[in-house]
Structure 1
Amino acid sequence: MIIREANIEDIPQIQIVRNAVKENTLSDPNLVTNQDCEEFLTIRGKGWVCEIDHLIVGFSIVDLKENNIWALFLHPDFENKGIGRKLHNVMLDWYFSKTSETVWLGTSPKTRAEIFYRKSGWQEKGMHGKEIKFEMTSDNWKNKMKQNIKSIRPFIGSKNFEESRAFYRDLGFEEMVLENNFSVFKKQEIAFYLQDYYAKEWIENTMIFVEVENIDEFYTELALLNLPTKYASSKLSPIRTMDWGKECFLHDPAGILWHFGEFFNKD
């Protein structure tokens, strides 16, 4: 699964998703034209899509001109997977990086969308035609994002950006494309940012330690991926036992050293 910025070429698939939804449907599909989509993506604001196996399954678009969420839709076959939340968050993060103006949206009452927006911190502000009008202020969004610390996300580099992207996807991380040369990779509670930037001394001195529950089982899973076979510069080293626990090592294609370890003392 990849979350990335939408472009004009995505519009045909965006229209398919828009017309597949079961809530907030269009009375006439021709009401939203390809030209409308292009204007909102390139002139009025910005959009994002979720892509799975080269298929767009959801999208979000925000309008900076009218301070409005123009669209946030997900194909019914891909609901309840957290995709809508990711499209929502990346959109609002971008919006409030560009303006502090309150943003609003309208959605039909008694729908899952209404529940979603209420849970996301949107405040009801009356009606907009037949829809409920919700608003989100810059302060409310920032305060909602001020949660307890859950993770540390290091920034790492790459010698061959496309090769490193493929390596980490094969390693089991989920990629979210933030820019053409910048992605975040996530797996459970672990996340890091991958950059298209290489400085030999920095890369070769970058090390990341990840604690796992069972290093023996984890190493077996790593070995089955055959990463050193697929990526010539990658190297998987056997488990070694230390006073504190056990660990194995994995070099990525650029030379970054990952430590995967299990502590003897779990306290």
Structure 2
Amino acid sequence: MASSESPAVSDVKVFVPTQDLTTSLAFYQALGWQCNWQSEGLAEIELAGVRLFLQAFYVKEWAENFMIYLTIEDAAAWYVHVQRVLATGAFPNARVNPPKPEPYGALVTYVWDPCGVLLHCAQPTNAPN
């Protein structure tokens, strides 16, 4: 009979696609992520104690359906921050939308990274809209 308890897990990370690892890494760093290490084809980035792997692997349909949810304190401030990053012209394929109230109770600034990965920068509003 199998045990009802799972073995311990000490960390969970996801592999995020990039069309160009160097460009995506620069984009995430410009947003405030720290690069912990980088090797050929892979980089570990960190923000708010959460780590992700950026990988040199790209399938358009997968990248454009990949999403990362960030809980933030100020969706408007993130919108301005991302606009400043994009104004440099270094990331022509990246884009940002102004904050939008969502029915599940968050004000969300949507950010698309250079290869189409969608970041939900969500400020909880504590009340469904």
The TM-score, its normalising length taken from structure 2, stands at: 0.80
Which residue number in structure 2 is paired with residue 258 of structure 1?
Answer: 119
216-225 or 201-210, which deviates more:
216-225
Q: Where does the alignment leave 5 or more consecutive residues of structure 1 unmatched?
A: 1-145
Task: For 1:201 and 1:227, locate their aligned partners in 2 and report how far apart those are by CA, in whole Å.
Answer: 27
CA contact (8 A) 2:37 2:44 kept: yes
Paired-residue identity, %:
22
Task: For 2:33 and 2:78, locate their aligned partners in 1 and report how far apart those are by CA, in whole Å.
Answer: 15
Aligned residue type for 1:237:
N
Give the structure with the higher percent helix. 1
Which residue number in structure 2 is paired with residue 203 of structure 1?
Answer: 63
Segments of 4+ moved more than 4 angstroms: none
Tell me which structure has the larger Cα radius of gyration. 1
Q: For this pair of structures, how many residues does the alignment match?
A: 119
Deviations 1:203-238 (A, max 9, x none): 111011111012222222222223673211001111
Residue pairs, 1:198-237, within 5 angstroms: 198-226=58-86, 229-237=89-97
Task: For 2:57 and 2:87, locate their aligned partners in 1 and report how far apart those are by CA, in whole Å.
Answer: 22
Are positions 1:155 and 2:2 aligned together? no
CA RMSD of aligned residues (A): 2.2
Task: For 2:64 and 2:35, locate their aligned partners in 1 and report how far apart those are by CA, in whole Å.
Answer: 23
Secondary structure class of the residue paired with 1:238: coil
Task: For 1:189 and 1:234, locate their aligned partners in 2 and report how far apart those are by CA, in whole Å.
Answer: 24
CA contact (8 A) 1:245 1:261 kept: yes
Structure with bigger RCO (C-alpha 8 Å, 6+ apart): 2
